[in-house]
Amino acid sequence: MTVIDARRMQEIEARYPDYFRRSFTRRFGGLMIAIGTLLYCMYAVWFFDLPRLVAEARWERVGLYLVQWVSYDVQPEFRVSGDAITVKYPRFSPLGDNPHPDWIVNRPDGSVAVSVSGSSRTIEISKSEVLLTAHGMTVPVDISGDTPKVEGAVPAWMTVYDDNVIANMGISGEVSIAAHRIKIRKKFFGWPNFIFDTRSPFFDKPAGDVISMIVSGPRIEPDQSNLSLAFDNIWNNSAWQHGDVWTKLFQTIVMAFLGTLLGALAAFPLAFIAARNITPNRFFNQLLKRFFDFLRSVDMLIWALFLTRAFGPGPLAGSGAIFLTETGTLGKLYSEGLENIDNKPREGIKSTGASPILVHRFGIMPQLVPVIVSQTLYQWESNVRGATIIGAVGAGGIGLKLWEAMRTNSNWQNVAYMVVLILIVVFLFDMASNALRHRLMGTNSR
């Protein structure tokens, strides 16, 4: 066993001071970062008052919105007038202009039975009373007077106001009872009329019948084939507006592509002036870099607001906003890529007496192309999402359509449809940009 004396130990410490005499920062740096992160998180919890926000949040709305994304409702309104009970449906009802749903039954005695969800949740309407069956109990509501009155104790799933009574029938729907008027909201899962709306001759027909009508059926419109008519009915569906939605989606894609392309073309030559090792002029270097910072510091959404005031709402404003933002972003990325290149190939080509163009072509571009391809394709993919956001402020595209559907707070099926389309487009662009990046750079995509 080797024994190290004190003098030998001092020599080793003097030779390797980084291991034996580490600074305070190197010894406790990790611990200080962990403590600082914990203190910052505690400060954020206090500053934003997170416990109160969590306690007061309306978490039940999350479930309601999710259900509305994948469901629709039918809202029949029953009016009691004398000895008759009449039903009326809203305009553009999912059931069409002359609905006769099997969950509404007219009885021989003049009353009406409505099945909200099987036999466990029903509504029976007579001339003087409404019987609500839900949550394992039956509650009668008197409608013979000027205001509805709940007979007996009011359960927790009912709310009584001065002139009406609202009953929550669970996930299946709800009912509002006023004097001589009962409005029911019954929910169904699915997207109604997604293919053909109620105005189409193909509406509410089985898929086999529709295919038979298209392939071998007689012409419905004398001057148009059934296939053309079916496509026209789908494209101009009044409920889902497929034609308008897909047109706006294509506008969003074009906005992202055009804005990114113009931004890349503008940033490329400016990056050579901003790079210190390419243009040894500090004034121009700093001027271009501050110009890039200015374009990047103003968010794309703000640029869109400015340009919609200048050019009016539309895709031109959206493309301009993306162009300005990408000029700053790509200009910074390209210039930093130029400043980080290896100067040896450039100096070697320059020593042969080659012209500056050839020096740039063979000494710089082979090193810069991977940066240009990677960053430009990533920004293009990212701008597809960004174009959706700026569309909400009037810059055109599907973002404006999405905002209009959300603003009504009652058209969440259409919101879900457009969100799904946006997700599909983003996934496809991500896959395409990755494949193109690996192909251009000559790397394995796996």
Residue in the block written with tokens 């960004």 = 386
Looking at the fold, whether 30 and 86 belong to one and the same domain comes out as no
Does 267 reside within a domain? yes
122 forms bridges with which residues in the sheet?
115, 133
Distance of alpha carbon 406 from the chain centroid: 11
Looking at the fold, whether 152 and 273 belong to one and the same domain comes out as no
The arithmetic mean of pLDDT across residues 183-193, rounded, is 88
Looking at the fold, whether 249 and 365 belong to one and the same domain comes out as yes
pLDDT tens digit sequence for 148-169: 998 888 898 999 998 899 999 8
87: region left, alpha or beta (phi > 0 left; psi from -120 to 50 alpha) = beta
The arithmetic mean of pLDDT across residues 187-204, rounded, is 87
Asked if 415 and 388 touch (Cβ cutoff 8 Å), the reply is no
Looking at the fold, whether 269 and 418 belong to one and the same domain comes out as yes
Does 197 reside within a domain? no
Q: 3-state DSSP: the chain helix, strand, coil percent, rounded to 5? A: 55, 15, 30
pLDDT score, position 18: 64
Domain count, the chain: 3
The DSSP letter of residue 113 is: E
Looking at the fold, whether 284 and 427 belong to one and the same domain comes out as yes
What does the block give as tokens for 228?
A: 């053309």
pLDDT bucket at 330, cuts 50 / 70 / 90 = very high
pLDDT tens digit sequence for 391-422: 888 777 888 888 888 887 777 888 899 999 99
Asked if 245 and 398 touch (Cβ cutoff 8 Å), the reply is yes
21 pLDDT higher than 70: no
pTM check: above 0.85: no
Looking at the fold, whether 153 and 283 belong to one and the same domain comes out as no
The arithmetic mean of pLDDT across residues 310-337, rounded, is 90
Does 7 reside within a domain? no
Looking at the fold, whether 117 and 260 belong to one and the same domain comes out as no
Looking at the fold, whether 53 and 81 belong to one and the same domain comes out as no
Does 282 reside within a domain? yes
3-class SS letters over 343-406: HHHHHHHHHCCCCHHHHHHHHHHHHHHHHHHHHHHHHHHHHHHHHHHHHHHHHCCHHHHHHHHH
Looking at the fold, whether 29 and 84 belong to one and the same domain comes out as no
Average pLDDT, the chain: 86
Largest CA distance in the chain: 114
Please list the alpha-helical segments (H only) found in 16-164.
17-20, 24-47, 50-56, 60-69
Looking at the fold, whether 344 and 281 belong to one and the same domain comes out as yes
- For the chain, give the percent of residues with pLDDT over 70: 94
d(CA 189, CA 215): 31
379 pLDDT higher than 70: yes
What's at 159, amino acid-wise?
T
pLDDT score, position 231: 93
pLDDT score, position 16: 67
Q: Give the CATH number for residue 408.
A: 1.10.3720.10
Given CA atoms 417, 423, 426, 431 in this order, what sign does their dihedral have?
Answer: negative
pLDDT bucket at 370, cuts 50 / 70 / 90 = confident
Asked if 125 and 80 touch (Cβ cutoff 8 Å), the reply is yes
pLDDT score, position 76: 92
Does 3 reside within a domain? no
Does 319 reside within a domain? yes
How many CA atoms are closer than 13 Å to the CA of 211, on its beta-carbon side? 3
Point out the domain boundary residue: 167, 189, 211.
189
Pairing of strands 77-81, 181-189: antiparallel
Range of the domain at 355: 242-441
- Over its C-alpha atoms, the chain yields an Rg (Å, rounded) of 34
Looking at the fold, whether 126 and 265 belong to one and the same domain comes out as no
pLDDT tens digit sequence for 271-307: 989 988 888 888 888 999 999 999 988 888 899 988 8
* H or E stretch covering 336: helix 315-339
3-state secondary structure of 200: coil
pLDDT bucket at 13, cuts 50 / 70 / 90 = low
Does 150 reside within a domain? yes
Burial 251-261 (b: 16+ CB within 10 A, else e): bbbbbbbbbbb
Does 208 reside within a domain? no
67 pLDDT higher than 90: no
Looking at the fold, whether 325 and 403 belong to one and the same domain comes out as yes
d(CA 263, CA 422): 23
d(CA 309, CA 42): 43
